[in-house]
């Protein structure tokens, strides 16, 4: 039993150890796609070159999450698109002019720069050769060929402002239109199975696949001008930073953005940070050193450190609280059902939903809710890890044969003494099995940190999915699997060391 | 108020009852347990004998009635004093599997913070009494035979030198060979200790072999109390005769030794 206390003490020490300090200062965020990350890097690089400490939390999540993070003050700035704000962020309002958009943002304490230059709107793309063959340059030209095979991403088919409206707007009547996954649409376009698909105007594939983007001659698609959103208090806190942000306005053309997207997503596999710095040096005349790429070893190492940080900060509190919860659950039937029920419910909440629930709470108590070292992912992981520990502690106590409790009572041992010296050792196997399960699950679940830029192995997995890079996905998945195995072995050893010897023996007869 | 009977009685039960879901498991039992004598509670399974023992031990509360211990209400006495006064052995031994035989035996003493010298002296006495091989002490319960386990369990029950020893089928889980060996040994121990012993058994010959007083129970009530002889000569009811007849085919050490 003493060994168990020692084990808990070591764990507590582990959890109490400080998280390695991170650069802070101005916090830039970015959404979960290449272009946004590149522009986010540009903003961070430009501010940094003005002598202000800046951190870029890459790939934080989708529009809503990142916008809320900005409003709540978790980040100070991020790149956004006018069309996205009109169609999504302020979908409940009828916003038509820039002035209305600026006013809506101002209500939230957010300012917007002038457009950066590129317009990442929806567009229709065709193979160049095919377009030339049919003499198609404008979207209205498509109407001459109702036999063309069109394929659109499912999202574009479903949206009110998508295919249905486009069809009406241009009075199209096509025989064959199908909805499909966007990646597959590109592949079918390349193979000639489709003649035209929806694309984003600054998509890297426009260049890599040499596509013709048809002119929107009847102005159907809304503009998706890229801008930088930043908090209105940024100018007061960092006057230099606010003015630097505006320098990016009008500097990035569609063509340049496509090029940079391709540099990251194409065969070059450049990093966003290098692409962004090269651009800053070129267009703003800055002189930022372009560091060599991080080696595979370095990047896996820093992901490992981040991952372990998430695991230890969530698993240890789960162990320290899960065991008492399990005992409480056992000792009283009503509170027991309550504890087991609540802990069980956490398990059923999808990771993203749980994070979205936790984040405002974390912000409310003044802790950092997104990015590396943030508390949100830790709390979500903590909640996920509770169930196996609480359950197994409960089951361990329930599994103690009545004769032992009766003996303890008959020998006149106090409740407290019986709990710590009889029941706990007897339930130890089950408790440790629960801890083991929780630990292995935790290592796997910690990849959810990638959802809110909390680092760890989830980060390369998310980036890998975004860039369709198997090697990046494996850079996260393989070490995560290895870590799970190592953790399993480690707790196996703890089990050997902590479980009383008498409980590991098989009876002689 | 002290009755005259309390002067000779270690334990006196007055109208003790226990109900489980409307079933009267123990039904208004009155009982007098005198100092230094050996009693056996017998009866068919489900007659309430184990439940009665547990209520005396205070392991389960009674629904009605009073247990007097040395003339005082048991429920009003300090739990620690009461526990030290009763040694308790159950069928499965109840040894804690995560502790060695030695740790099990000395646990009640260590819990009461005896000096290590006093503990080891007591351990020596008990080992001599039960003739437990010395190397058994450092084994875990899982490494002991059934007979050894029961002897360790007895040592643990006796370590505080209790006034009363309560045993619930102490030999019930043993195979017949070991069982009869241990019966002989246990009887010698009882005689040398001169303690008040109350033992639950379903085996009439075992009961007669150990105890001067048999208490036959049926359906939660005491049917007859006395020696085996009195049961045979003056049965209180046809059930007593039937119970004796049913067990006659058994030739336990009681008959063998006489």
| Mean pLDDT, chain B, whole residue set | 86
Contacts of A508 in chain B (CB under 8 A): 142-145
pLDDT of residue A125: 94
Distance from CA of B143 to the nearest CA of A (A): 6
Average pLDDT score over chain A: 88
Contacts of B144 in chain A (CB under 8 A): 508
Evaluate if residue A23 carries a pLDDT over 80. Answer: no
Q: Is the pLDDT of residue A25 over 60?
A: yes
- Tell me the average pLDDT across B209-224: 91
Contact A41, A277 (CB under 8 A): yes
**B73 has pLDDT over 80:** yes
Strands annotated E in B103-258:
164-168, 196-200, 213-218, 221-226
Strand A211-213: give its sheet, edge to edge: A176-180, A149-153, A196-200, A122-127, A211-213
- Starting at the edge strand that comes first in sequence, how are the strands of the sheet with A110-112 ordered? A54-61, A26-31, A77-81, A226-231, A110-112
The string of pLDDT tens digits covering residues A240-292 is 888 889 999 999 999 999 999 999 888 778 889 999 999 999 988 888 888 77
pLDDT given at position A392: 95
Residue A47's pLDDT band, with cuts at 50, 70 and 90, is very high
Characterize B36-55 residue by residue with b for buried, 16 or more Cβ atoms within 10 angstroms of its Cβ, and e for exposed.
Answer: ebbbbbbbeeebbbbbbbbb
Reported as a single tens digit per residue, the pLDDT across A162-189 is 888 899 999 988 888 888 888 888 889 9
Looking at A81-85, A211-215, A353-357, B253-257, which range is the least confident one? Answer: B253-257
Report the residue from A404, A406, A508 with minimal CB separation from B145: A508
- DSSP β-ladder status, B9-20 and A226-231: unpaired
The tens digit of pLDDT for each residue in A366-413 reads 777 777 767 888 999 999 999 999 999 999 999 999 889 989 988 989
The chain A residues in contact with chain B (CB within 8 A) are 403-404, 406-407, 409-413, 417, 422, 425-426, 428, 500-503, 505-509
CA quadruple A347, A353, A358, A359: dihedral sign: positive
> Mind listing the pLDDT tens digit for each residue in B94-140?
899 999 999 999 999 999 999 999 999 999 999 988 888 989 999 99
B229: enclosing H helix or E strand = helix B228-233
Task: Please say whether the beta carbons of A266 and A209 come within 8 A.
Answer: no
- Whose tokens are 């965020």? That residue is A29
Q: Number of C-alpha atoms within 13 angstroms, CB side, residue A64?
A: 10
Dmax (CA) for chain A in angstroms is 98
Q: Rounded to the nearest 5°, which phi and psi values hold at B81?
A: -65, -45
Q: Which residues contact B207 (CB under 8 A, 6 or more apart)?
A: B40, B42, B199, B201, B214, B228
CB contact under 8 A, B143 and A505: yes
Question: What is the interface pTM, i.e. ipTM, of the complex?
Answer: 0.87
B107/A411 CB distance under 8 A: yes
Q: Which of A327-331, B89-93, B166-170 has the weakest average pLDDT?
A: B89-93
Q: Over 70: is that where the pLDDT of B251 sits?
A: no
């Amino acid at each position: 039993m003493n060994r168990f206390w020692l084990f808990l003490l070591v764990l507590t020490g582990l959890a109490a150890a400080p998280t390695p300090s991170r650069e802070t200062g101005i916090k830039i965020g970015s959404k979960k796609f290449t272009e946004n990350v590149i522009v986010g890097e540009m903003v961070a690089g430009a501010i940094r070159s003005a002598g202000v400490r800046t951190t870029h939390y890459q790939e934080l999540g989708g529009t809503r999450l990142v916008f809320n993070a900005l409003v709540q003050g978790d980040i100070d700035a991020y790149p956004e698109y006018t069309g996205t704000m009109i169609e999504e962020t302020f979908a409940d309002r009828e916003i038509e002019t820039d002035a209305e958009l600026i006013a809506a943002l101002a209500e939230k304490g957010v300012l917007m720069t002038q457009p950066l230059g590129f317009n990442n709107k929806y567009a229709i793309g065709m193979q160049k050769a095919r377009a030339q063959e049919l003499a198609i340059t404008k979207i209205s030209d498509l109407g001459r060929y109702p036999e063309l095979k069109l394929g659109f991403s499912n999202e574009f088919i479903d949206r009110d402002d998508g295919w249905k409206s486009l069809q009406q707007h241009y009075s199209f009547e096509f025989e064959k239109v199908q909805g499909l996954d966007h990646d597959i649409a590109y592949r079918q376009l390349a193979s000639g199975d489709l003649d035209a698909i929806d694309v984003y105007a600054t998509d890297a594939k426009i260049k890599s696949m040499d596509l013709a983007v048809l002119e929107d001659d009847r102005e159907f698609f809304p503009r998706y001008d890229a801008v930088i959103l930043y908090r209105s208090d940024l100018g007061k806190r960092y006057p230099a930073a606010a003015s630097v942000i505006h320098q990016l306005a009008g500097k990035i053309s569609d063509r340049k953005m496509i090029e940079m997207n391709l540099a990251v997503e194409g065969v070059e596999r450049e990093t966003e940070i290098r692409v962004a710095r090269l651009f800053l040096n070129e267009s703003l005349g800055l002189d930022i050193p372009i560091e060599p790429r991080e080696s595979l070893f370095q990047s896996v190492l820093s992901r490992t450190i981040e991952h372990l940080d998430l695991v230890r900060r969530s698993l240890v509190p789960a162990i320290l609280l899960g065991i008492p919860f399990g005992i409480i659950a056992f000792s009283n039937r009503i509170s027991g059902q309550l504890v087991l029920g609540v802990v069980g419910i956490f398990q059923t909440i999808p990771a993203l939903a749980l994070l979205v629930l936790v984040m405002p709470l974390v912000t409310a108590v003044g802790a950092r809710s997104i990015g590396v070292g943030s508390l949100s992912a830790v709390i979500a992981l903590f909640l996920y890890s509770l169930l196996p520990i609480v359950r197994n502690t409960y089951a361990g106590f329930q599994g103690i044969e009545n004769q032992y409790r009766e003996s303890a009572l008959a020998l006149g041992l106090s409740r407290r003494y019986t709990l710590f010296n009889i029941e706990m050792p007897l339930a130890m196997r089950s408790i440790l099995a629960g801890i083991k399960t929780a630990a292995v699950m935790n290592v796997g679940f910690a990849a959810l940190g990638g959802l809110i830029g909390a680092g760890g192995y989830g980060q390369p997995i998310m980036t890998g999915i975004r860039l369709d890079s198997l090697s990046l996905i494996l850079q996260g998945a393989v070490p995560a699997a290895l870590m799970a195995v190592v953790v399993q072995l480690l707790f196996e050893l703890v089990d050997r060391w902590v479980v009383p010897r008498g409980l590991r023996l098989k009876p002689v007869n | 108020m002290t009755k005259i009977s309390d002067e000779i009685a270690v334990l006196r039960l007055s109208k003790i009852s226990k109900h489980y879901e409307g079933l009267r498991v123990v039904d208004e039992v009155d009982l007098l347990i005198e100092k230094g004598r050996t009693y056996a509670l017998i009866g068919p399974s489900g007659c309430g004998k184990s439940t009665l023992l547990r209520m005396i031990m205070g392991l389960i509360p009674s629904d009605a009635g009073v247990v007097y211990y040395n003339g005082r209400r048991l429920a009003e006495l300090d739990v620690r004093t009461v526990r030290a006064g009763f040694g308790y052995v159950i069928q499965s031994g109840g040894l804690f599997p995560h502790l060695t035989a030695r740790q099990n035996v000395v646990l009640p003493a260590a819990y009461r913070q005896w000096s290590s010298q006093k503990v080891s002296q007591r351990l020596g006495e008990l080992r001599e009494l039960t003739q437990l091989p010395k190397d058994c002490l450092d084994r875990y319960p899982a490494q002991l035979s059934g007979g050894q386990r029961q002897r360790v369990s007895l040592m643990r029950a006796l370590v505080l030198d209790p006034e009363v020893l309560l045993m619930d089928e102490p030999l019930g889980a043993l195979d017949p060979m070991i069982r009869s060996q241990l019966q002989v040994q246990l009887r010698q121990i009882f005689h040398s200790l001169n303690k008040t012993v109350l033992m639950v058994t379903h085996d009439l010959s075992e009961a007669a072999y150990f105890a001067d007083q048999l208490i036959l129970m049926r359906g939660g009530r005491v049917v007859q109390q006395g020696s085996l002889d009195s049961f045979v000569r003056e049965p209180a009811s046809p059930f007593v005769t039937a119970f004796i007849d049913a067990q006659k085919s058994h030739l336990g050490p009681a008959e063998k030794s006489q």
